[in-house]
Structure 1
């Protein structure tokens, strides 16, 4: 087991433990580079069973963090998936030992471009090595080693978290009994990559980006806000936008014939962009979006997806996949592609498409049907 030095955990008033782990053993990366040492910010909820067989790993999406179920100790806001995770909910700390770690490249306690490079004593910035989703999973595997967990009851994630969940089954099939992948994909499409590139260029075009070497209090906030606005549109749906905003004006009765936020949707997007800059690092956004763009489970198999899942099928991993009718970022057609590949590989798989007007973000919103599906799947997985 790698040398480690965890800091004292912070006990949340309800049930969460906010933790930090430092590992001094080098981490090899898919790029061929390595990190000399590794920090991991993570949260745990519940109690690990004596046989360690009740552990559930939850993987967060692009802009998430480790605070999945308990209130964020820094902001006081509820956990980002507290509709699914918590007492009496499908993933319940009374039954499960729940782990969620900030991803590699992130900005909430895990090594990323804002971390200090031990070789220079300065933040890595763009000298941080380029990472992949597989690298994120490798970090999570090291965390589980530290926690003494050899096999997960389940790994669960939506969006980029779903990519990590699928990657767990591909890269560590013997360590996973079940996978729940929601609103996700097995590869990033050209359209997905295009939207990310718009966001990255907005950040890098901001004069305050400074080639990635910006002070913490004077980063490329304008570019990051635009990147967030562009991405946030992809998380919604035309139906949801029309129902919520339509063409209604913001705090006015008539057109102003200018370029202020005249429409409610404009005001909403500007608010989302500004709020995002207060909690997320611009360089982390560059690195994590690039990792998502590289994601393609079929690539090592000449573009065939089924062979990627054969080891998981042989290991007896069970899969549940969920998509949403109005998700055009990772549409149901892509989920069905994964389901067909899993069936071809011989993996036991269930799939449900849920009717929702809320687009890609449906998995984060109130979704009773999704909760019922997850609760039933976990109960059956025993």
Structure 2
């Protein structure tokens, strides 16, 4: 019998000392989670859907995926028990750099580097602590998509199906470069203090805001940004003066400043570094005979979703996954000027895709063989 927290409330579950893939240990680790909908079934046959959040997301999936999780919605909580954890290394309840260290103070620089596989392994330990040894499906986008893909490769008998959204089989050199630039912006801030700023100051807020500016440009589409802002000056400011001044901005600069401020108010810089580093280490082929061999070995029926204007994880990366996955449910395209974030903002399209995922994984439909899949067969939703 699974023992779950009250619906919608944040709850922390101890998982004990957690050894990382690279050989370090997170002592006394905890995983925070929320659940939406009633659990039905047993430890091995139940109605659980696990939803994996993106880099700066959290366990409150019903909020950041508003319109998709709830009674009568695509992930219908009258039917399904939706569980969403906060990833290990985060700052929204699970153990991370800002958490208290057993020997005093915050973990800070003592917190080890993590991989995507570590995040999955911690989540598996969490589920088993709850008394859940199998789930119906796992769904995730961006970093959550990387976690979902790894779930299907690490523990293929643990889930009936996977929905992998807006991510690649491994981090590309471009992704590592752009993500490392974000880390660099944070750790070069004088208030970083080698990650041990928690008892000294507010932290590297300038560096974190700069990192978010860089990241946000990869989350949104080039056409959308240009159509919204073009070369317009911020109201009351003049970026075309005789000398450059930081308080005289283009409208797009003001927008990016705002995005940086919003993140600083809700997220920890140490967690941002830890989880971004985990994304840099994402490689489904590592230790498995190479990427394509690993993908073709997958026995889990897997639906793939991409965005046509995604700069961070271009659609060709989901096409590559579709050609090599051993058990493909289908490849679907979200058409939107928004870019990578479209899987969060295009509710109508994602509603149809998630309903198809549920239908395909509950009506006995035969998945197609992903090897040699024709990209011309992609569905545009």
TM, length-normalised to structure 1 = 0.89
CA offsets 1:276-303 (integer angstroms, 9 cap, x no match): 1111111111111111001100122343
CA offsets 1:238-257 (integer angstroms, 9 cap, x no match): 11111221222211385452
- Secondary structure of the 1:223 match is helix
Name structure 1 gaps, 5 residues minimum: 70-78
1:62 paired with 2:42, answer: no
Tell me, in whole angstroms, the C-alpha distance in 2 between the residues paired with 1:103 and 1:17: 16
Cα offset, 1:356, TM superposition: 0.9
- Secondary structure of the 2:157 match is helix
2:87 equivalent in structure 1? 103
Aligned residues: 355
2:378 equivalent in structure 1? none
Tell me, in whole angstroms, the C-alpha distance in 2 between the residues paired with 1:156 and 1:46: 16
Tell me, in whole angstroms, the C-alpha distance in 2 between the residues paired with 1:42 and 1:358: 29
Residue 329 of structure 2 is aligned with which of 334, 341, 349?
A: 349
Residue 42 of structure 1 is aligned with which of 33, 39, 43?
A: 33
1:76 equivalent in structure 2? none
Residue 380 of structure 1 is aligned with which of 327, 336, 360?
A: 360
Tell me, in whole angstroms, the C-alpha distance in 2 between the residues paired with 1:36 and 1:254: 53
1:147 paired with 2:130, answer: yes
1:157 equivalent in structure 2? 140
CA offsets 1:145-166 (integer angstroms, 9 cap, x no match): 1222221111000000000000
Divergent runs of 4+, >4 A: 253-256
1:175 equivalent in structure 2? 158
1:113 equivalent in structure 2? 97
Tell me, in whole angstroms, the C-alpha distance in 1 between the residues paired with 2:317 and 2:240: 43
Preserved CA contact (<8 Å) 1:83 1:365 = no
Cα offset, 1:349, TM superposition: 2.6
CA offsets 1:127-185 (integer angstroms, 9 cap, x no match): 11111111101111112112222211110000000000000000010001110011111
Cα offset, 1:60, TM superposition: 0.5
1:304 equivalent in structure 2? 291
5 Å matches for 1:178-327?
Answer: 178-215=161-198, 218-252=202-236, 255-257=239-241, 258-259=244-245, 260-310=247-297, 312-313=298-299, 317-327=300-310
Q: Which moved more, 1:362-371 or 1:265-274?
A: 362-371
Cα offset, 1:263, TM superposition: 1.4
Name structure 2 gaps, 5 residues minimum: 363-381
Preserved CA contact (<8 Å) 1:106 1:112 = yes
CA offsets 1:175-209 (integer angstroms, 9 cap, x no match): 01110011111111111111111111111111111
Q: 1:82 to 1:22 in 2, by over 3 A?
A: same
Q: 1:254 to 1:20 in 2, by over 3 A?
A: closer
- Secondary structure of the 1:173 match is coil
Q: CA RMSD in A?
A: 1.9
